[in-house]
Amino acid sequence: MPSFTDKEMEIEIGLMLRIGVSVSAFVVFVGGILYLIRERMLPDYAHFHATADHLRTINGVLHGVARCDAASVIQLGILLLIATPVARVIFCVVGFARQRDRLYVAVSSVVLAILIYSLMSGNR
Amino acid sequence: MGIPYILERGQVGANPKSRGLGSMHAAEFSALVFGTSLLAGFLGSLTGLGGGVVIVPVLVLLFKVDIRYAIGASLVSVIATSSGAAAAYVREGLSNIRIGMFLEVATTLGALLGAYLTAKVSPHWIAIIFGLALLYSAFASFRKQADHAVNSPNALAERLELRGSYPTSSGEQRYSAQHVPLGFGIMFGAGTLSGLLGIGSGAVKVLAMDQAMKLPFKVSTTTSNFMIGVTAAASAGIYLARGYIDSGLAMPVMLGVIGGSMIGSQVLMKANVATLKMLFAVVIVALGAEMIYSGLTGRI
């Protein structure tokens, strides 16, 4: 069986990244249409007061999407976008494992752990 | 009527009693931000300077948006353009996934620190540091693209598999990384800047790989682009939890920058970008100076 080359891994990663960006842009677009249909008033962006609590956690966003809340749909698209590089790192962990490159399975696992730590920071 | 209209509103916004763009409708605001982001994404991809770098100053200075919301929206657009462009780069076979992954340990740790610092550092200082980063990225874009690539084996680089080869006109050119700890350290700094300012900090990443680690220029730029998305994702989780990512603002910014950079990469093949690059660099320098001035005078 031919070994899994770096080139093949990169091509698959490229495809995955493109799908991730397209899907998330589509979800943000749909949410944007809903937002523009429903919202008339512009929020006050000149002063910082942080976004609503339910838009700051993965669970909150999913519940909002179930309610068809426009801001939550946009936020879901943004979460999918953030998940795209995370998926790429997961893909690399698997790819390096297929190449039996233990050092890089470890290196990419460290990067993955840092990303998961960041994504979970709102859900603690 | 776009720009004068905003400026007029902007002056209203300078009055502390006023809510600035408050009287504007959501649709109107979204359309203006979308158009501006489209232009930023277009110029950014055409000149190679990146669109994200001008989004924050434009939102802050022109649209009077709080710098934390601006940074959140910009970071989202940075993930989008990096991931979109990486798909095109991998086909050329120039980026190095091992070097990228190894250095991402440094950039993601730095990004966590940077995102943590955004809550500690005052907006004045963020504006000043942002201005300096803008000036540096304009300066770096005019540095000679000389290749410093060396192929002399370096013990640490060999152990970490930080080597590779890339196609040139005279066949495959081999290279091996040098000064690994220095490169790793600069990458940590690049990640911190990225997390603090919501930018890709591609210029500093290229500095680490091209100048410090002596990697070929093309390998440095494409690997840097590959790393930007992962670095930005590391601070994005924290930004989201802190409420910096506002959907109504991030939506037109993200869609505009993606659209603009897609158009830019199509035009890139045919256009002579030297003049445009000079013009865009002048804009970046002006925005950088204005950010520093606004930060120093306490207007941001």
Q: At residue B163, what are phi and psi to the nearest 5 degrees?
A: -150, 175
Q: How many domains does chain B have?
A: 1
Any residues with CB less than 8 A from the CB of A72 and at least 6 apart, and which? Answer: A31, A54, A55, A60, A61, A62, A63, A64, A65, B247
Q: What is the 3-state secondary structure (H, E, C) of B56-87?
A: HHHHHHHCCCCHHHHHHHHHHHHHHHHHHHHH
Please state, rounded to an integer, the average pLDDT across all residues of chain A. Answer: 90
Phi/psi-derived region of residue B93, left when phi > 0, alpha when psi is between -120 and 50, beta in every other case:
left
- Position B271 scores a pLDDT of 65
Q: How far apart are the C-alpha atoms of A78 and B77, rounded to whole Å?
A: 10
Do the chains contact at A25 and B244, CB–CB below 8 Å? no
Strand partners, A41: B25
Q: What is the predicted pLDDT for the residue at A122?
A: 67
Chain B residues in contact with A7 (beta carbon < 8 A): 93
B165-219 confidence digits (pLDDT tens)? 887 777 788 899 999 999 999 999 999 999 999 999 888 998 899 889 999 888 8
| B236/A111 touch (CB, cutoff 8 Å), yes or no | no
Q: Give the DSSP H or E segment for B173.
A: strand B171-176
Predicted confidence (pLDDT) per residue in B133-168, tens digit: 999 988 888 776 667 677 787 889 989 999 988 877
Distance CA B172, CA B181 (A): 27
pLDDT band at B6 (very low <50, low <70, confident <90, very high): very low
> How close is the nearest chain A Cα to the Cα of B48, in Å?
19
Q: Which domain holds residue B175?
A: 2-296
Give chain B positions within 8 Å (CB) of A46: 13, 19-22, 64-66
What was the pLDDT predicted at B269?
65
User: Could you tell me if B75 and B53 are in contact, meaning their C-beta atoms sit under 8 angstroms apart?
Assistant: no
Please report the pLDDT score of residue B60 as a whole number.
Answer: 94
Structural tokens at position B157 = 């680089």
Residues 224-283 of B with CB under 8 A from A: 229-230, 232-238, 240-252, 254-255, 258
Q: What is the predicted pLDDT for the residue at B270?
A: 65
**Cα–Cα distance for residue pair A100/B272, rounded to 1 Å:** 45
Strand partners, B171: B168
Half-sphere exposure of B243 (CA within 13 A, CB side): 11
Q: List, in order, residues 6 or more apart from A104 with CB less than 8 Å away.
A: A92, A96, B98, B101, B161
Kindly identify which residue of chain B lies nearest to residue A119, measuring between CA atoms: B237
The two most distant CA atoms of chain A are separated, in Å, by 61
Give the pLDDT confidence score for residue B186 in this predicted structure.
97
Cα B235 from Cα A119, distance rounded (Å)? 9
Chain B nearest C-alpha distance from A37 (Å): 9
Phi, psi (rounded to 5 degrees) for B142: -105, 5
CB B220, CB B140: distance < 8 Å: no
- Please give the average per-residue pLDDT across B254-259, as a whole number: 94
Q: Please state the rounded mean pLDDT for residues B216-225.
A: 88
pLDDT at B52 over 80: no
Structure tokens at B159: 């152990």
Per CB-CB distance under 8 Å, the chain B contacts of A57 are 241
More confident residue, B152 or A86: A86
Task: For A47-83, write each residue's pLDDT tens digit.
Answer: 898 888 889 999 999 999 999 999 999 999 999 999 9
CB contacts, 8 Å: B111 with chain A: 118
Indicate whether B262 pLDDT > 90.
no
Query: For chain A, what percent of residues have pLDDT higher than 90?
Result: 66
User: Do A15 and B87 make contact, defined as CB atoms within 8 angstroms?
Assistant: yes
Counting residues of chain B whose pLDDT is more than 90, the rounded percentage is: 54
Nearest CA in chain A to B233: A82
Give mean pLDDT, residues B78-82: 91
Where is pLDDT greater, at B40 or B93?
B40
Query: Helix (H, G, I), strand (E, B), or coil: what is residue A46?
Result: coil
- CB distance B91–A11 less than 8 Å? yes
**pTM of this prediction?**
0.89
Taking CA B6 as the corner, what is the angle to CA A73 and CA B274, rounded to the nearest 5 degrees? 90
Q: What is the pLDDT of residue A13?
A: 87
Distance, in Å, from the CA atom of A29 to the CA atom of A44, rounded to the nearest integer, reads: 22
Q: Minimal Cα–Cα distance from A85 to chain B, Å?
A: 5
Helices (H) and strands (E) in chain A, counts: 4, 0
Alpha-carbon distance A20 to nearest alpha carbon in chain B (angstroms): 8
Over residues B19-28, the mean pLDDT reads 70
| φ, ψ dihedrals at A47, nearest 5° | -125, 135
- For A89-123, the pLDDT digits (tens) are 999 999 999 999 999 999 999 999 999 999 988 66
Q: A84: which 2 tokens?
A: 């795209």
Residue B12: the pLDDT is 39
Q: Which amino acid is present at B272?
A: N
Q: Quick one: pLDDT band at residue B132, thresholds 50, 70, 90? A: very high
Question: CB-based contact (8 Å) between B188 and chain A?
Answer: no
Chain A positions in Cβ-Cβ contact with residue B101 (cut-off 8 Å):
89, 92, 104, 107-108, 111
Judge whether residue B17 has pLDDT over 50. no
Output the pLDDT for position B91.
Answer: 67
B162, B176 Cβ separation under 8 angstroms: yes
Give B-chain residues touching A43 at CB under 8 angstroms.
26, 246, 248
